[in-house]
Each structure stands twice: as C-alpha cells, then as structure tokens.
Structure 1
C-alpha cells in the first residue's frame, strides 16, 4: 500500500487511473454524507435520479437533506410549504432513488435558529425570540414545542426507518435578548449557553422518546463555548451527536482536535464533522473555487488522523444554496459537482494526488480539472455539465466585457453618458463607434441566455430559473438593450 500525506503529488504514478486504491487514514469507513440544501434551487427529481449514482460512485454513502420550505407540510403547517415544494410522492421517489444508490438519508429540520421559513409567517410570528427578527424561536413557550413536535412528526412520517434526524440548532442569533429569556437569565443566574442547552435537550429528548432508535444530530457551534463540566452536567451526551462544522481553508487543526477531545470528555461517544463543497465563499458566489474546499478537506483529514477512529461517526460535505432563507442563490448544484468530486475522493482516499485527480476527471468526463481558478474551459459529461459551461460563459465571456464596454468604453463614457442618454442626444458619427459592439454583445447574450434558460429548466423549477436569470444575467442584458434603444432614439432625434 502506498501512503502519502494529503496533497503530496510528488512521485505519484500519474499514468494510473485506478480509482480503487487505498491511501492514508481516510473517512471512508464512516458515513460520508452529501448535503442537499433545498431551501434554494431544489433540483427536480429527474435530476436527482441522474446525480445520485454519481454521488455513490464518488464515495458518498448518505444524504443530509435540508428541505426547509420544500417539504410538503400539511394541515396546520401548510403555510410553511412553498408553492414549488416537493409532493409527498416525490419525497418517496427521492427516498427510493437514494436506497437504490445505497445512500442513507438523514433529514435535517431546523428547531431553534434559522427558522425564518417558519417565523416569517403571521401564523407563527408570535413565537419569535425577538419580535422583530424571524430567525430564532422563543424556547420558553409551550406552543413553540408543539410547533416543533408537529414539524418533526410530519418529517418522520415521510422518512420511516431512519437512524438519525438532524435537528439543526446552529447560529441561534439573538438568543437571550427576548423579554422572557432575559427574565429567566436574571432569575436563575444562567448564561445564554444554558438557555440553548435546555431547549436542545427538550427537543432531543422528544425525538429519542417518541421515535426509539432514532439518534438526534445537532450543529455544535452553540455548544463550543461551554466547558466540559457544563456539557457533562447538561446530559446532552446521552441524547445528541454533535456535528462540528468549519468550512475555512485555514481550519485550525489543533483547535478542532481539542474541541473533539472536550466533547469526548463530556461523554459524547460519537461526533460528526462538516466540511463544504460549495456555498461557503460568498452569499452571491456563482462559480466554485475548488482550491478553497480542497484546502478545507486537507485540514479535516489532518484532524481525522489525530482522533480515535471509533469517535468519528461520519462527515457531512455541505453544499449551501442560500446563506439563509432571505439571501440570494449562490453556486447551483451542477456548478459545484467538480468540487464535490474532489472532496468525496479526498475523504475516500485520504489525500489529493495526481492519481486521485485523474480518477475524478475520468468519472466526470473532464479533460482538465482546475482547482486554482474559478474559470474552467474544460467540458464534462456529468449531469448538468452544460450548466457549468454556460454560467462560466456568462460570468467571464459576457458579464466582464459588458461591464468593460458600459463603464470604460471611451465613446460610451465620452459621447453617450447618462447626461446625453437622458436627453437623447448624440453626434451621429459616434453611433458608428458604439452600436456595432453593443449589438454584437447583445446578440451573444441572447444566444447564451437562451441555451442557459433551457438547460436550467431541465434541472430546476421555473421559479428558480427565473430567480437566477433575473439576479445574475438579465441586468446586463437589459442595460445593453436599453443602450441600443437609446442610441436609435437619439439618432432619430438628430435627423
């Protein structure tokens, strides 16, 4: 067996494309989850049928599915259900496809923070921790727990036989700032972490008692400040498996190892780790910088090598589609697939080498895999590869030259400024300097956007396609269109 450190490509046999070799200690013996963030750009079931086999071939054996408002809530929870939510039949089809491809499903349901999709509705707004903000739930009201019990019950009805349920609980912003929380903090001498652990314990205990055999998972960030003794005394270790998340390329290995040791000392028998393959480098990011996520996984592999093997339950590779319910879309799933392939193969083999890169290129049908730049001219044969190519064209071959033309072209800025356009005045000879390039750019936009619109509609619901196009492409197309129209009007005024 050939053993190499993560990222060590020196001396590796680059001619081999054998994907079945083994290397250093990896996470391949544990659960390796691909996170599907469905609160933005939820793929059609037909597309999931295409990518699930790919996930499995790349090394995944599970899915962490975060439905949010795309879950088919009903009865008193019907307001939570988006118009483009999956139907109950589609949920069953997704679960069947996962089973066929040997991908164990773990649903994720937010139960404390990131509850905008619930608390934005007038029916539930009174359950906010702070009345102004819809992100965090008031943990002190019985109605809040009844709400969560209903959400969990409906989720479990659609996911019989699951072994884990992720109950979210990250980034509970403004906890402790509600009037009821302030009173409890004052009367009991508690810290905010006590409020958090009290609520988390109630939710986890409900899951464990109501659904025997189901183990709750929770994001760990709100637990990190607590001491080992406080965590031990809380009793959470008997109820919850924490998932430690860190998506940074310069992840502090020593700090994360120490954190895992603290959780172990506090009685937690199993922990999860969470990395990212997309959606972690900017709320409006449209192309994935693979190198960022590659470095993040190199650091996580160093952590994995330093902790007891029986401590790690698994790794979730997150792929955020929105930073929160109200933010814009970031990288679409097809765009992030090459990055996901790198991350999965690194976890499977314990390193990133020329051999691993060759294997990834072979699986994705790519002639070249660029990990250092956002732009990649290499096409692929993986599902949705045409979307990646077209979005790359939009951002690098259309958006950039259009901005250059509109903002720095000397004829546009010098002879057809906003002042001139408002008054529809131009020297006729300048139309000849401006119009050909404007019309050429506009024609290129129309051609690519037509292809992109059609490609996106094969994968996503129309509401997602409309949102992406309106947010990231139409503004530039419309600016060019208006410029050409203003040119024609101004020329007519001169005759």
Structure 2
C-alpha cells in the first residue's frame, strides 16, 4: 500500500498550482457562451421578451385564478400566452381516435385561444359527415353532423382561430380502402394502406372527398392533403410500369399534382399543404413543380429533431416554397399505445425545433405556421394512444416553448401556466408520473380524465409489482386488495370519460387499457 509523505504532498501541491489558471478561463468561456446564446441577434429572437404578464401584481392575481367558464371571443387580457411574432401556432386535432363529443369542443376551442393557439389542423377521417356514395366512410360508432361542423367553423371564426381541414389522398387511407366498395382502389389487393394513383376511379373518389370537406370549410385558406409514408408506392403492375418508364419521384409528383391542381382550379384562394417526408431527397427542380400549388409541412417528433431534419433541408425548402410549416409533437409520438404523456420528451422536441429553425430559416416570414401535432392513433387500425385531456399540460408547456423560441422554459411561465391549470405546484416535466405528484383540484377542460390517467399509471405499476410476487398466497392477497382498487378505477373512468367521449370510445378505452388488469388480478385470487 502506498503512503504519501509530507514531501510528496508538497510536490503534488506545486504540480496542481501550475493548472489553477485553467479554472477562471473555463468560467469566462462559460459566461460568455451564456451571454451570447441569451442575447442572440437571430431574427426570430429580436422581439422583446413578453412573458405572460410583466406586471407582478397582475401575475400574482393570475396565478391564483382558475379558468372561468369558456366564452367565445376571449379578450386579449385573458390570453395566457402572447406570440412574439406573426408565426401562428396551429394545434392538431386528430379525430380518427377518441373523437370527443361536440360539447367538449365548445369548451376546448376557447381554452386553446387562451393558451395562445392561432388555429387548428383538423384530421376528421371517418368522423366527417360524408354523404352520397361516401356515406359508408362515416364511422358507425360516432361521427359529427354537418350542423356540428358548421358550428365548429363558426366558433373558430369568432375566436379568430383558423381551421385547416386534412383530407388523406395517398397513404393512411385505411378508413376508405377497408370498405369493399373502394377496395379496388388499393395499391395492393390485401393492403388497405394506400391508393393506386393510376386506377380509373381513384382521382374521382378523392376529388369527391375534397369537395365535401371544402363545402363545410368555405373560407379556409389552406387544405392539407396528407401524402406521407406511402411506403408501398409503386407495388402494383401499373405503377411498376410507370416507374420503369419514368421514376418513383414522377409517380408521386403525378398524383399529388393531380390533387393540388384540382384544388387550385376549384378554389383559387386555397393553397395545399402536404407532409414532407416523401420529398426530402428531391432536387430543387423537382420541388419547384409543387411550389406553385402547395407548401411542405416538415414533421419531426424525436427529442433531437436535428438528427432527422437538417438546417440544409429547411434552407432548401425555403429557397423553393413561399412558406415552410414545421410540425412538432405535444402527444402521440412517445409510443403507439401509451396513456401517460411523456412531457419531457415533447418539451425536448420543441427545444430542438427552436434550434433547427434558428439555424435553418433566416426569417420568420418564411414560416407559414408552427404546427403542434397530437396523434390519437398511429394508424386507423391501431390502439388508442394518449387521450387529449391527459396531454393538455404538455400542450400548454409546448405552446409556451414554441411561442418564445426558447431553449429553456421560463420559470415564471411554468409557474403561471401550472397555476392556471390548477396544479398546486409546477406541472411536472418528466416522462413518468411520480408518487409525489398531485392530480387533485385541476381546472382545465377534461381534467377529470387527466386524474383517471394519473391513477391508471399507478395501478399499472402496482399490478406489475404484484405479478412479480413469487409466493402464491401472498400474491393472491395482494391481488385481492388491488382488484378492489381496479374496480373502483373502472367505475370512475367510465363516469369521467363518459362526460367527454361517446360510449364507443369509453368501451374501447376500458377494454384495452384496464380490463386486462382486472382479469389478471381475478386469476391471481383463484
């Protein structure tokens, strides 16, 4: 064993003294970096920081204020988040999974306005009131009436919220192609994922879908035509032959241009939007063929979106298209069937988008809108992921990050938003619930459902622990105790979800999210 003598200690001290100068230099570099990143001169950061309310007395009063009963036409003083620039914040409403009753939308839209949203991207799918030969597309379980869509559009207009309808026209067509009446339009006979763009009736069906949606959105300036993830494009014999004579790029261009040119001819004031993933590798000349009619919505939902989308790609799009529409995620990208919203993941996604926009776009004028997507299902046939009420805290924080182009959520914003939503402390920013969190006394639309999801998360954790008990008698005793808690949660969940969702959604959620736990516990007690 080595022993240090006084002589060796003095030698070590002299050696350390030679490097003491490093520490003040490192501190100077760190402080300089913080100063430069905080006081950036980038165009997206030149506006003064508004925060939520600068007056301390007003802020304290607002911190103690709950959401009042929502009314249309919210005054400016009632808005919690003010955008620092002209970039509208668009919230995605994915109705192909867990569509709420219309009464909830009446409450939800004024709430979105208070959070600083500027519009909605509405993905109706089978909840839209299609008619004629398209009536079969309407879900037999639940769909909205024409009167309800009209009221939705009018309510949004009264709140100065734009509505952008989304009509799938290439991939994600299961809700159409699953029906025998339209199975002949499939790219592959046994796959209802995408249409074949060369079938005789494909374009007429798609035009009819667009016609009916546009008839109920006569004043919209944009319509989203989907176009993403067409992974099986070019698999049928007709498309293979087309590609052999031209290219895959030409096949995709042929189809989407067909739709966009039709929209431009019928509604000259309307511009098409489309997801960008299928065109990321295109050269500028090919991109220019789309630029006359539409703009790309550039989506990326991972924590570090720069790994998926580069500043160079944004610059290329901005050099061709009049507007680029970044698309982040506030729910629905953390897992295909999860129920608890991983808030930290979504906050990180927005931080990374802010970095990417700063390096990839030179002016906010090149952004058509910043879209916060919230997926309810990954695909038409998939299970539900997070319910909208469970994602409202995530949405509020993500809107705050997006509105300020920040890399760090301001503490005062976090505190005020948390108080306004009824949280006794700051909204927890973590990917899993913690036993110290509190879901009581919340006051936002659907907060009762948030409390149910909170309780469900802990029930699932306890169920996992019970399943690991080796001793049969001890496991049976623990299962009996937990089964009583599960029954109570099932009863409360049915009541709370029933306030917001139609019976079909309540049944689906209970059967896929809780019933298996109760069945497993009952087996353990036998």
Matched, 1:402 2:463: yes
Partner of 1:116: 174
1:284-433 equivalent positions in 2, closer than 5 A: 284-306=337-359, 307=361, 308-351=363-406, 352-368=409-425, 369-375=427-433, 376-379=437-440, 380-396=442-458, 398-405=459-466, 407-412=467-472, 430=473, 433=474
- Of 82, 91, 94, the match for 2:139: 82
State the alpha-carbon separation in 1 of the partners of residues 310 and 155 from structure 2: 35
CA contact (8 A) 2:260 2:272 kept: yes
Measured after TM superposition, the shift of residue 393 of structure 1 is 1.1
| 1:439 to partner: Cα distance | 2.5
- 1:193 and 2:252 equivalent? no
Question: Equivalent of 2:297, from 243, 254, 263?
Answer: 243
Corresponding residue SS for 1:252 = helix
Instruction: Please state how far the C-alpha of 1:118 moved relative to its aligned partner.
Output: 0.5
C-alpha distance 176-207 of structure 1, shift in aligned 2 (>3 A):
same
In structure 2, the gaps of 5 or more residues are 1-36, 63-76
Q: Tell me how far apart the structure 1 counterparts of residues 56 and 483 of structure 2 sit (CA, whole Å).
A: 45
8 Å CA contact retained: 2:300, 2:308: no
CA contact (8 A) 2:89 2:119 kept: yes
Where 1:225 maps in the other structure, the secondary structure is coil
Structure number with greater CO (CA < 8 Å, separation at least 6) is: 1
- Equivalence for 1:70: 127
Q: Residue 37 of structure 1: CA displacement? A: 0.4
- Is contact 1:280-1:320 (8 Å) kept? yes
- SS in structure 1 at match of 2:120: strand
CA contact (8 A) 1:286 1:332 kept: yes
**Partner Cα separation in structure 2 for residue 137 and residue 361 of structure 1:** 45
> Which of the residues 463, 474, 480 maps onto 2:504?
463
- Name 1:134's counterpart in structure 2: 192
Secondary structure of 1:129's counterpart equals strand
Within 5 Å, which residues of 2 pair with 1:140-219? 140-188=198-246, 190=247, 192-219=248-275
Superposition deviation, residue 176 in structure 1: 1.2
Q: Where does residue 478 of structure 1 map in the other structure?
A: 519
Shift of 1:14: 13
- 1:191-232 per-position Cα deviation (integer Å, ceiling 9, x unaligned): x12211111111000001011201111111111111112223
d(CA) in 1 for partners of 2:224, 2:457: 36
Q: Distance in 2 between matches of 1:401 and 1:81?
A: 40
Question: What's 2:163 paired with?
Answer: 105
| Equivalent position to 1:30, from 70, 87, 100 | 87
How far the C-alpha of 1:260 sits from its partner, in A, is: 1.9
Q: Which moved more, 1:112-121 or 1:344-353?
A: 344-353
Alignment check: 8 A CA contact 2:347 2:398 kept: yes
TM-score scaled by structure 1?
0.86
Residues 94 and 375 in structure 2, CA contact (< 8 A), matched pair in contact too: yes
| CA distance 1:181–1:254, shift in 2 (3 Å) | closer
> In the superposition, relative to structure 1, how do residues 284 and 27 fare at CA in structure 2: closer, same or farther (>3 Å)?
farther
Do the aligned partners of residues 395 and 465 (structure 1) sit closer, same or farther apart at CA in structure 2, a change above 3 Å counting? Answer: same
Show the counterpart of 2:110: 53
Between the aligned partners of 1:230 and 1:309, the Cα distance in structure 2 is 25
The Cα of 1:178 is off from its aligned counterpart by 1.4
- Report matched runs for 1:197-276 at 5 Å: 197-232=253-288, 235-252=289-306, 255-265=309-319, 267-276=320-329
Q: Following the alignment from structure 2 to structure 1, what is the Cα–Cα distance between the partners of residues 147 and 55? A: 46
* Partner of residue 490 from structure 2, selected from 428, 438, 449: 449
Alpha-carbon spacing, 1:28–1:58, altered in 2? closer, same or farther (3 Å): farther
Post-superposition shift, 1:254? 9.7
Query: Could you tell me how far apart the structure 2 residues matched to 1:15 and 1:173 are?
Result: 54
Runs of 4+ deviating beyond 6 Å: 13-16
- Could you tell me how far apart the structure 2 residues matched to 1:215 and 1:259 are? 22
Residues 394 and 98 of structure 1: is their aligned pair in 2 closer, same or farther, counting only changes over 3 Å? Answer: same
